[in-house]
């Protein structure tokens, strides 16, 4: 039937009707909130390029996560570490007294209801800021796999619920899966950063994690933003190697990739609404150019509508507080 018998505006006439027929709904179960943990006590360092985000010492991070859980019900976080010291290959992250394992142990003791996703990468822990062991001016893939596997086991032993390798080394999911299984963590899932692009949207994160590369860039291991067929190959390889969830990062400029990955593989799909995407919204809101809360809702809805099952976002806490 066509107009005037069919009038599509009938289902938009009131908030109640619009809510009833809404196709895509973002709720707290879809969201993971990222945090940065740093050395010291009583530390809450503001991250200027990411308003409302901080580097937290372990004691204050525990208080923050307790507040997050009690006020919003968000029960999933992603942890990144700023270490006391760095080295050439990231081995400092493999120690049991490293910053993230200690944070996980404290959180599991004080807030056991909250699920912890532990990022696995070396960029925060290396003196050069690259995601692995550098040989002849580039990251050596196979040497890096050794530290990634060791770091993953250490994080699992500390109590991490999910291991999330973000380095983009070839073969790392298989190596990590084997290491976890051999150490009794066969039931610990892997959330693979499968299609992670060499993106300009990561700038604020590198300030937050103190992980900017000291030379060159990450184009030899992170993906070319122009490619989406290649993303399917990356995702397929991670699935073959044992990934339980796959990820597309960033989200907003890669909604087409999210959609293709979901349509092709139909498995749990995570999208990372990254720091640059977050900070652009904050900057525009501070200038009064946008309705911030409407923009946040629209962005998160678009990511889920594209096919994401889970969204990692720095907006998570405020989104729930403003939409309860």
Q: Give the active site residues.
A: 196, 249
**What burial class does residue 182 get, using C-beta atoms within 10 Å of its C-beta: 0-12 exposed, 13-18 middle, 19+ buried?**
exposed
Contacts of residues 137-142 at CB distance under 8 Å and 24 or more positions apart, as own/partner, are: 137/215, 137/216, 138/216, 138/220, 139/169, 139/220, 139/221, 141/169, 141/170, 141/171, 141/221, 142/171
For residue 37, list its beta bridge partners: 56, 81
Alpha carbon separation from 98 to 85, 259, 321 (Å, rounded): 10, 37, 33
Spatial contact of 93 and 58, defined as CB atoms under 8 Å apart: no
For residue 32, list its beta bridge partners: 312
CA-CA-CA-CA torsion sign (151, 153, 159, 163): positive
- Hey, how many other C-beta atoms are within 10 angstroms of the C-beta on 13? 10
- DSSP string of 193-223, one letter each residue: EEEEB--GGGHHHHHHHT---SSS-STTTSB
Spatial contact of 270 and 312, defined as CB atoms under 8 Å apart: yes
Q: Which of 147, 56, 48 is nearest to 100 (CA)?
A: 56
């Amino acid at each position: 039937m066509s107009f005037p018998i069919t009038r599509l505006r009938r289902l938009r006439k009131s908030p109640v009707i619009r809510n009833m027929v809404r196709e895509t709904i973002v709720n707290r179960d879809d969201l993971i909130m990222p945090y940065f943990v740093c050395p010291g006590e009583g530390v809450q360092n503001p991250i200027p390029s990411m308003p409302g985000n901080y580097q937290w010492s372990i004691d204050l991070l525990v208080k923050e996560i307790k507040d997050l859980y009690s006020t919003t019900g968000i029960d999933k976080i992603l942890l990144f570490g700023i270490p006391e010291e760095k080295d050439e290959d990231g081995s400092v992250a493999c120690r049991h007294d490293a910053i993230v394992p200690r944070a996980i142990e404290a959180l599991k003791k004080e807030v056991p209801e909250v699920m912890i996703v532990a990022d696995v990468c070396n960029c925060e822990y290396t003196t050069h800021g690259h995601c692995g062991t550098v040989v002849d001016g580039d990251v050596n893939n196979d040497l890096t796999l050794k530290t990634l596997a060791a770091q993953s086991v250490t994080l699992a032993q500390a109590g991490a619920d999910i291991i999330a390798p973000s380095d983009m080394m070839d073969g790392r999911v298989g190596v990590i899966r084997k290491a976890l299984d051999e150490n009794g963590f066969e039931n610990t899932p892997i959330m693979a950063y499968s299609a992670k692009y060499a993106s300009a949207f990561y700038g604020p994160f590198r300030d937050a994690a103190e992980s900017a590369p000291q030379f060159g860039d990450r184009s030899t291991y992170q993906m070319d933003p122009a490619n989406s067929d290649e993303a399917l190959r990356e995702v397929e390889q991670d699935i073959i190697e044992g990934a339980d969830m796959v990820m597309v990062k960033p989200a907003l400029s890669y909604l087409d990739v999210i959609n293709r990955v979901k349509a092709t593989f139909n498995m749990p799909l995570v999208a990372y609404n990254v720091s640059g995407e977050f900070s652009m919204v904050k900057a525009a809101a501070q200038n009064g150019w946008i309705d911030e809360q409407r923009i946040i809702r629209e962005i998160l809805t678009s990511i889920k509508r594209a096919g994401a099952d889970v969204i990692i976002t720095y907006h998570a806490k405020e989104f729930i507080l403003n939409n309860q």
